[in-house]
Amino acid sequence: MVLNSDGVIVTGNKAKDKKYYKFSGYPGGIKEISFEKQIAKDSRKVIMSAVKGMLPKNKLSSAMLTRLLVYKNEEHSHNIDFKI
């Protein structure tokens, strides 16, 4: 579970230089969006993309990614007590 995804901070010029790409499958169907615009649009996708890149590239990765819960702020509907 990740809380406060709006508070993601990067150093250096990564906010301007980092790009996220989507491809529709059609010729000329690639779209890019910068880190700054993606954070303003939906900050949860930044976290999801980062975690997806860290997962193993096999059949289990999509199942593992469905268990990831990302919230924009501290409000969520889960009653989970974390005990360390």
CATH code, residues 5-66: 3.90.1180.10
Q: CA dist 28 to 8, 24, 84, Å? A: 31, 9, 50
Given this model, what pLDDT does residue 77 score? 79
Assign 1 a pLDDT band (cuts: 50, 70, 90): confident
Q: Where are the domains of the chain?
A: 5-66
State pLDDT tens for residues 31-45: 999 999 999 999 999
DSSP string, the chain: -B--GGG----TTHHHH-EEEEE-SSTT-EEEEEHHHHHHH-THHHHHHHHHHHS-SSTTHHHHHHT--B-SSS--S-------
Q: What is the pTM of this model?
A: 0.80
**Looking at the predicted structure, is the pLDDT value of residue 51 above 80?**
yes
**Looking at the predicted structure, is the pLDDT value of residue 17 above 70?**
yes
